[in-house]
Amino acid sequence: MAARLGPTDGNWASLGMLYFKEQRYPEATRAMRRAADSSPRPSEYYYHLGRMYLAMKRPQEALDAFKAAEAKSFREPPDTRIKIETMLAEGRAMAWADMGDLDRAVEFEREALNITPSDPHLWTTLARFYEAQGRENLAQQARQQAAVLSRPQR
């Protein structure tokens, strides 16, 4: 409906998110792709498309969407680019984990942490990957780092 009122990238993205919440996945991905294709700065839309594919258990398509986001990220301002690079690295980690390649998942989660080392969520995810690999010492260290970063600042 919103796209009919004004076919802007923002309206297409909103429509895609609405469809996704309604579990109308083909329509959701088409709308999000239209948002990305019509935007002068499409990186976040491709990222959201990738997350949709992850939720749909289609990790290879998610990786393709993340690759498209990265290819367009040069159009973003520097602070937005850092945020997107972090999100893309974590998205790739999730996709590789979904495909059963925990080594690649750890690699990309560590890449996200190299960009944004103060995010406790990233440390918690890394701990889960290490735990799944049976690397309990590293998992514990990552959990401790997440706990330290989650403490309120005084």
In a domain, 4, yes or no: no
Quick count: other Cβ atoms within 10 Å of Cβ 47?
25
In a domain, 106, yes or no: no
Distant-in-sequence, close-in-space partners of 62: CB < 8 Å, separation ≥ 6: 50, 51, 53, 54, 91, 94, 95, 98
List the chain pLDDT tens, one digit each, 154 residues.
444 556 799 999 999 999 999 999 999 999 999 999 999 999 999 999 999 999 999 999 999 999 999 999 988 888 899 999 999 999 999 999 999 999 999 999 999 999 999 999 999 999 999 999 999 999 999 999 999 999 886 6
Q: Are residues 131 and 89 in the same domain?
A: no
CB 142, CB 123: distance < 8 Å: yes
Q: What is the pLDDT of residue 23?
A: 95
Which CATH number fits the domain that encloses residue 58? 1.25.40.10
Q: What is the pLDDT of residue 151?
A: 86
The number of domains in the chain is 2
Q: Are residues 91 and 150 in the same domain?
A: no
Q: Are residues 87 and 131 in the same domain?
A: no
Q: Are residues 22 and 87 in the same domain?
A: yes
Q: What is the pLDDT of residue 104?
A: 98
